[in-house]
Amino acid sequence: MKKGTFVVLASGRGSNFQAIIDRVRDGYIDAACTCLVTDNPDAYAIQRAEDAGIPVEIVSYKAFSDKDKYENALLSVLARYNPDLVVLAGYMRLLGKKIVDSYNGRMMNIHPSLLPAFQGLHAQRQALMYGTKIAGCTVHFVTHDMDAGPVIVQRAVRVLDDDDEESLSERILIEEHHAFPEAIRLFFERKLQVDGRRVLILP
Ligand code: GRF
């Protein structure tokens, strides 16, 4: 009997989603991914879900006249699967208050920087332009403010003199593929304890 279920939201390539699928398959994550939800009917993540036998729900933003209606549709899809955890793996939309409140402490996102540095889009480019020597990735709980929730796992990457956005992004992505499964595993082991801004990892 697995420890619980989760749903993944992804908008694109889905390499993090794939890393998570692989770690469920090899038993590192003791939980079942019951659905992929995407806002993008062309997302490559759909193919990955199909290959893994995971149901797909397409909730296309364009199909709704406003954000409220879109979010209600998303909420009702999520409610149908009733997951213990919602995983944002390259989901490119900001979620509204209702969804964030519904999954408070039960929704995670991954961001390609060492937060709180470089929130928002093109975090790797921002790190290069700023000139930091260390970059990385962060898995955090989702709160109302973008890329600002309590930090669960971070992994660092050295910035090399000859890095460009692509090479740095590639090396950060390798770390993302370790960080996200680790955070999900800890969640289902019930080892994450949120204490204000800090996430304590129980022994
Ligand atoms: C990753 O860099 C992630 O940190 C960011 O979006 C990208 C998604 O990549 N949130 P993928 O779709 O998982 O390959």
What pLDDT does residue 13 have?
Answer: 98
Span from the CA of 75 to the centroid of ligand 1 (angstroms): 22
The closest-lying atom of ligand 1 relative to the alpha carbon of residue 13 is 12
Span from the CA of 131 to the centroid of ligand 1 (angstroms): 22
Q: pLDDT tens-digit profile of 149-195?
A: 999 999 999 999 999 999 999 999 999 999 999 999 999 999 999 99
Q: At residue 41, what are phi and psi to the nearest 5 degrees?
A: -60, -15
- Closest residue by Cα to residue 180 from 2, 72, 33, 1: 33
**Ligand 1 pocket mutation, candidates 126, 138, 151, 173, criterion most atoms within 8 A of CB:** 173
**CATH number of 1-103, picked from 3.90.170.10, 3.40.50.300, 3.40.50.720, 3.40.50.170:** 3.40.50.170
C-alpha Rg value of the chain to the nearest Å: 16
Tell me which residue has its CA closest to atom 9 in ligand 1. Answer: 90
Q: pLDDT tens-digit profile of 104-149?
A: 999 999 999 999 999 999 999 999 999 999 999 999 999 999 999 9
Tell me which residue has its CA closest to atom 7 in ligand 1. Answer: 90
Report the alpha-carbon distance of residue 106 to residue 31 in Å, rounded.
14
CATH superfamily name and code, 110-203: Formyl transferase, N-terminal domain (3.40.50.170)
| Residue intervals in the chain for CATH 3.40.50.170 | 1-103, 110-203
Q: pLDDT tens-digit profile of 62-97?
A: 889 999 999 999 999 999 999 999 999 999 998 999
Span from the CA of 13 to the centroid of ligand 1 (angstroms): 8
Cis peptide before 116 (omega within 30 of 0): yes
pTM given for the model: 0.97
Report the alpha-carbon distance of residue 97 to residue 101 in Å, rounded.
6
Is residue 61 predicted with pLDDT exceeding 90? no
**Ligand 1 pocket mutation, candidates 36, 110, 157, 172, criterion most atoms within 8 A of CB:** 110
The DSSP bridge partners found for residue 153 are 139
